[in-house]
Amino acid sequence: MARHKVDICGVNTANINVLSNNEQIELLKKFKEGDIFAKDELVSGNLKLVLSILRKFSNRVDNMDDLFQVGCIGLIKAIENFDLSHEVRFSTYAVPMILGEIKRYLRDNNSVRIARSIKDTAYKANKIKEELTNELGKEPSIHMIAAKLNMSDFEVGNALDSMKDTISMSEPIYSDGGDTIYLEDQLKDKKNEDFDLHVELKDAIAKLKEKEQFIIRERYLIGKTQMELANEIGISQAQISRLEKSGLENIKKMMQ
């Protein structure tokens, strides 16, 4: 099958060697034993992984070369920190590491200024997230990260949300080959409407039974799962589900 050339950041993807899982494991073992050339092979054999992640940011930056170098730094960190004792594919661990490095770079070069305390919390949360991802083989929940930091789910969630990339009002969201629809085209001023709805919703929640109030707030403000709440309160997940359903139905009745 012909290999088609695609140039991204000056790299010809047709010439990039892609390593199999077994090849990666063998090279990782050699690197852990002190073979520095194995590290170079691992970097070269995972450049397509970096490039595939960069595609997500192609409309957000002007200089993709800089972002490519940042992505490679994330890849190198993943190689250096990967734990062979965990039964996790290297790519599973490397992707969030590369993404994290790119997002940190974009945040640090963002014109929107975030409070230092919130930044510190977000950096610590992302570090814990990377460690748990490596340990569990999947992305951890906000609750798990907050527990490690001895902080509330809201504090951690708020810090992570505040560090997310901003989106331009001129961001194209749809195009069928003709007129392009931009984000600003889909937004309208609903300030007064949203304020009235917020007040009405807040009043409705305040009229719920205490346990229903707690569950609705934890589920829809903090973002906890029914199972997390069941473990926290000491009742079954089915009971949490019934109380949540009852609370939502009561809110709906009061707002009709």
Domain range list for the chain? 7-162, 188-255
Distance CA 88, CA 77 (A): 16
- Helical pair 64-81 and 36-44, crossing angle rounded to 10 deg: 130
* 8-state DSSP, 165: P
Q: What is the pLDDT of residue 6?
A: 45
| Nearest to 256, CA basis, from 205, 199, 200 | 200
Dihedral sign for Cα atoms in the order 122, 51, 85, 135? positive
Tokens standing for residue 132: 């748990």
Confirm whether pTM is higher than 0.75: no
The phi, psi pair for 207, rounded to 5°, reads: -90, -5
∠ CA 148-153-158, rounded to 5°: 115
What architecture is the 7-162 domain classified under in CATH?
Answer: Up-down Bundle (1.20)
- Topology of the domain comprising 188-255: Arc Repressor Mutant, subunit A (1.10.10)
Distance CA 21, CA 91 (A): 9
Q: What is the pLDDT of residue 180?
A: 53
Which residue type, as a one-letter code, is found at position 238? A
Q: What is the pLDDT of residue 163?
A: 66
Contacts of 21 (CB under 8 A, 6+ apart): 89, 90
Q: What is the pLDDT along the chain (256 residues), one digit of tens a residue?
A: 334 344 555 555 566 777 888 888 899 999 989 888 888 899 888 888 888 888 877 666 656 778 888 889 999 999 998 888 877 888 888 888 888 888 888 777 765 556 677 778 888 888 888 888 888 888 888 888 989 899 888 788 877 876 665 555 445 545 445 555 555 555 555 544 455 566 677 778 888 888 888 888 888 777 788 888 888 888 888 898 899 888 888 888 887 6
